[in-house]
Structure 1
Amino acid sequence: MAGRLRFLKANGNHCAGAQDLFLQSMVKWAVDVAVMSEPLGAVPPLAVRARGHGYVAAVRGEITIVGVCFSPNRDLPAFERFLDSLEPVVGQLAPLQVVVMGDLNAKSTAWGNPHTKPKGRELEEWALTAELSLLNTGTVQTCVRRSGGSVVDVSFATPTIARRVEGWRVEVGVETLSDHRYIRFEVSATPAGRRSPASSSSSSRERSRFPRWALSRLNRELAEEAAVVGRWSLPGSAELGVDEGASRFGDVLHNVCRAAMPPIGRRPPRVRMETVWKAIK
C-alpha cells in the first residue's frame, strides 16, 4: 500500500440527497475507502469477500473492509445472533488486515457514550473475542437527533491496521443531510522494519499463552475474596527469591481472574429458551 488510504463512513438513511452529498464529499476529500450504512439503490461493483444480513465484506488492496449495520428497533437476542453470525466471518478474515465499521446502535462508555447498555457490553466482548482494536476516540456524538445524541457508529481494526490509523474523527459542522455525522480517518503505509511472517506467527503463539478476561463481567466481591485467599497462600517476601515471588504472585492474580470473571475466547453457542422447552417436551 503506497502512501495512505483515506476512509469515510456515513449513514444515508435511504435518502437520495444524503447519498449525493456523500459522493461529493468522497471527491472533495479524495477518499479511497467509503462505507455507507443504509444506502439508496444499487451500490458500485465490489470485490466482495462475504455478505450477510446486516454486513458486507469487500477488499481494497491488502485490506478487507467489513461494513455493518444493525437496526435500533431490534432487541438484544437479535443483536446477539447478529454478532454470532458475524464472528466466524471476521475470524476467517482476521489473519489478513481487517477494518470493521458501521452503525450498530450499541452504546458503551468505551467509545464515548455516558453509559454502557446491554448491546454495548455485548459488542465490547465480541470485539475482544475477535481480537479487534477500537479506533473510536473522544466523546463527540456520531448521531444527533431532536431527542438527543449518542455515539453509535463504531470502527474496529485488527492490530496491524490499528497501529497505522491516524486522525480518527467525527466531522462536526459538515452537512450530511442525515442524522449521522461523517467519520474520517487515514491508514498510513506499512511501517519500515516490518516483522517477518515467522516473527509475527511466533508473536501470535506467544500471545495465545496468556488468557484474556471479560472485564465487563467482573464480580468485584469474588475478586476481593479470591485475593484474600491468595494472600494466605503466599509466604513472607523474605522467604522467596525475586523470580519465585513474581511467579507465585502471577499465579495468585491468575486465580483471582478465574474466580471473578469468565475468560475471553470463542463465545459458546447460546442456549435459547425455545430450544430448552422443545427438549423438555
Structure 2
Amino acid sequence: MDLNLLQANINHCARAQDLLFQSMAEWSIHVAVVSEPYYVPSGVDWVGDRDGLVAITSRSIEGSPALVDVVRGKGYVSALIHDIMVVGVYFSPNRSLADFEDFLAEVGALIGRSRSSRVLIAGDLNAKSVAWGCPATTPSGRELEEWATVTGLMVLNRGSVNTCVRRQGGSIVDVTFADE
C-alpha cells in the first residue's frame, strides 16, 4: 500500500490549516503530518501529541480504520496507518541540544516498540544538515543524522528548497525519514 503524504507546518494559522484540508482533497493525500497546528479537531481522523505541537490526520484507506495504535508524547504522536507506523514530530528551536538528544531517544524507543516493520517519520525538527539540503550542519543536525543512521532510517528529502520560509529568510528544517 502506497500512502500519499503531505507534511506541513501550519504555524498556528487558521487559514493555513483550511488550505491544508483543501490541498489534501485536491491532491488525493492520504496522510498529513501537521506541525504547529492551529488546533487538533476531535474525531477519528485526527490525533495530536500531548502539547498540541504536532498532529496526524488521515482518511480511511481501503475500508481500514484511519488511525490505530495511537501513542502521544511531548512533541510527537504516532499512529499505525494501514501497516505503516507514521510518526509526526516537532521540536522547538528554543530547547537545548541535551533536550533534543532525550527527545530522539524517546522517539527511537517508540519506533523500537512498534509492531510495524515499516516506519515513516515526518515533521519540523529545527535541525539543519547538508544531508537534507542545508548549506551547513548544526550540532542538532549532526545529532539527528547519527540518530537516523543508528535507527536504520534514511532521509527522504531531496534538493535544497527551503521548507521554512519567513520574512527573515528560509531554512530546511522539515525532514522526512523512512526505513528501507
TM range (shorter): 0.7 to 0.9
Match of 2:24 in 1: 26
Deviation of 1:122 (Å): 0.4
Equivalent residue, structure 1, for 2:119: 98
TM-score by length of structure 2 reads: 0.83
CA offset at residue 54 of structure 1? 0.4
The answer to whether residue 93 in structure 2 is matched with residue 72 in structure 1 is: yes
Could you tell me how far 1:73 is from its partner in structure 2?
1.1
Matches within 5 A, 1:1-281: 1=1, 4-43=2-41, 44-45=43-44, 46-93=67-114, 96-159=117-180
Task: Please state how far the C-alpha of 1:94 moved relative to its aligned partner.
Answer: 7.3
AA of the residue aligned to 1:14: H
Structure with the largest fraction of strand: 2
CA distance in 1, matches of 2:81, 2:143: 29
3-state DSSP of counterpart to 2:137: coil
Aligned mates of 1:42, 1:7 — CA distance in 2? 18
Shift of 1:7: 0.9
- Deviation string, structure 1 residues 122-149 (Cα, Å, up to 9, x no partner): 0001101110111111111101112111
Q: Could you tell me how far apart the structure 2 residues matched to 1:75 and 1:50 are?
A: 24
8 Å contact 1:48–1:56 — kept in the other structure?
A: no
CA distance in 1 between counterparts of 2:20 and 2:155 reads 24
Superposition TM-score, scaled by structure 1 size: 0.54
- Verify the 8 A CA contact 1:35 1:102 in the aligned structure 2: yes
Percent identical pairs in the alignment equals: 54
Read off the aligned partner of 1:84 and give its amino acid letter: A
Runs of 4+ in structure 1 displaced over 4 angstroms?
Answer: none
**CA RMSD of superposed structures (Å):** 1.4
Higher helix residue share: 1
Count of paired positions? 157
CA radius of gyration, larger in: 1
Deviation sequence 1:225-262 (CA, Å, 0-9, x none): xxxxxxxxxxxxxxxxxxxxxxxxxxxxxxxxxxxxxx
Letter in 2 for 1:93: S
